[in-house]
Structures are given as C-alpha cells and as structure tokens.
Amino acid sequence: MSDFQSLGLPARLVGPLAAAGFTQPTKIQSQAIPFILEGRDVMGIAQTGSGKTAAFGLPILAGIMEIEERPKPRTTRALILAPTRELAVQIDESLRKFAGPKSRLQTVLLLGGVSRHHQIKRLERGMDVVIATPGRLKDLMDDNKIRLAGTQWLVLDEADRMLDMGFIVPVRQIVKAIGTERQTMMFSATMAPEVADLAKALL
C-alpha cells in the first residue's frame, strides 16, 4: 500500500498521483489528510510550497468521487476561497492534475477583472468545485448566480493574506450563506490574532 493510500485515500486517486511524481506525502499532508477524511474541521499552519493544496484537495476529491448524482444548477459541492487570482489559478490547476485527465470533475474559477459571462454559464450547470476570490464570488451571490446553502466543503486558503487584503466582510458573508452543515478547512502561514479569531468563529 502506498503512503498516500495508508492515509485513507482511495486507490483510484492515489494511482494518478504517483504518475505525477507524488509518492511521499509532505508533513502537512500526513497530518491533515486523515483528519479531513474523518470529516473534521482543520486549521493548518502552512506556507506555500508545503503541499497544502493536496492536503485539502485530495480528501475533497475523494469525497466528491463518492457522490453519484450531479450537483444542482447554481450550486457547488466545494468552495475554495483564495486571496489572489494567481493562487486561485494554481489551485484549479492542481485539482485538475490530482483528478487526472479522465476525470469528469467540474470546476470553475470565479475571479474579478474578467468577464462574468463564462463564469455564470459554468455555474448554471452545477459545479463540483468553485475556486474564487471573495469579491467576485460575493457579486455573483448578490445577483443570485450561485446558491451556497448546502455546500459541503469550505476551504479558506492563505487566510492571513485574505484578512490583510481586507476581505473579512465578504468572507464572513460568504460563510454565513453556506450554513453550518459544512466541513471547514483553514490554511494560513501565520496564526496572527485575527486569524485565530476567524478560526474560532468558523471551525
């Protein structure tokens, strides 16, 4: 059994990972993946480069793979919030890589500064994973283009930067719209007091 499989991940997710050069889990992956697979909320202190994307991404993909029915229009199973478009794009690329080329995983990036048209069309069919910066997501929520009630997984990536960039108000509004029947994962490079406060409120 591979090291990733012994963390509890399904074989059909682990196979393509090895082909992508992921053989040994990083520290954050070994620590977080078993907890997330158990359905627990997690707060991870981790820098970029630590492998945090796979730490939250792989258990979410494992969960999505177990669901047979398609997501309903204008909903998503998982929401990943990121402070910048660069990070959001990287997360999307990583998730597609983890899922493998034959996957039917449906994702959309909701970023400001680009046309909403394509984003709205993707949302209409129902998504497995939405990766968003807070401002554009809040705009689309206000226009009823996405309904977050029922979203099962929520990730706040680089939460410290999200707060530094002044996203606390939209983040709290977004979290409120999701409701409490969710699994929440927060990642931050530091545990500054504001991050600790947010973690206390969300986890």
Residues within the interface to ligand AMP (CB under 6 A)? 21-22, 24-26, 29, 48-54
Nearer to ligand AMP, 51 or 63 (CB): 51
Q: How far apart are CA 69 and CA 60, in angstroms?
A: 16
Whole-angstrom distance between the N-terminal and C-terminal Cα of the chain? 32
Helix then strand then coil, in percent of the chain rounded to 5, is: 50, 15, 35
DSSP strands (E only) in the chain: 42-45, 76-81, 107-110, 127-132, 153-156, 183-188
What order do you get walking across the sheet with 107-110 strand by strand? 42-45, 183-188, 153-156, 76-81, 127-132, 107-110
CB of 23 to ligand AMP, least distance (A): 7
Q: How big is the chain, counted in residues?
A: 203
CB of 25 to ligand AMP, least distance (A): 5
Nearer to ligand AMP, 52 or 77 (CB): 52
Nearer to ligand AMP, 88 or 140 (CB): 88
CB of 71 to ligand AMP, least distance (A): 25
- List, as one string, the DSSP characters of 149-176: TT--EEEETTHHHHHHTT-HHHHHHHHH
Q: Please, are residues 192 and 160 in contact by the beta-carbon 8 Å criterion?
A: yes
CB of 126 to ligand AMP, least distance (A): 26
Nearer to ligand AMP, 49 or 101 (CB): 49
Nearer to ligand AMP, 21 or 193 (CB): 21
CB of 56 to ligand AMP, least distance (A): 9
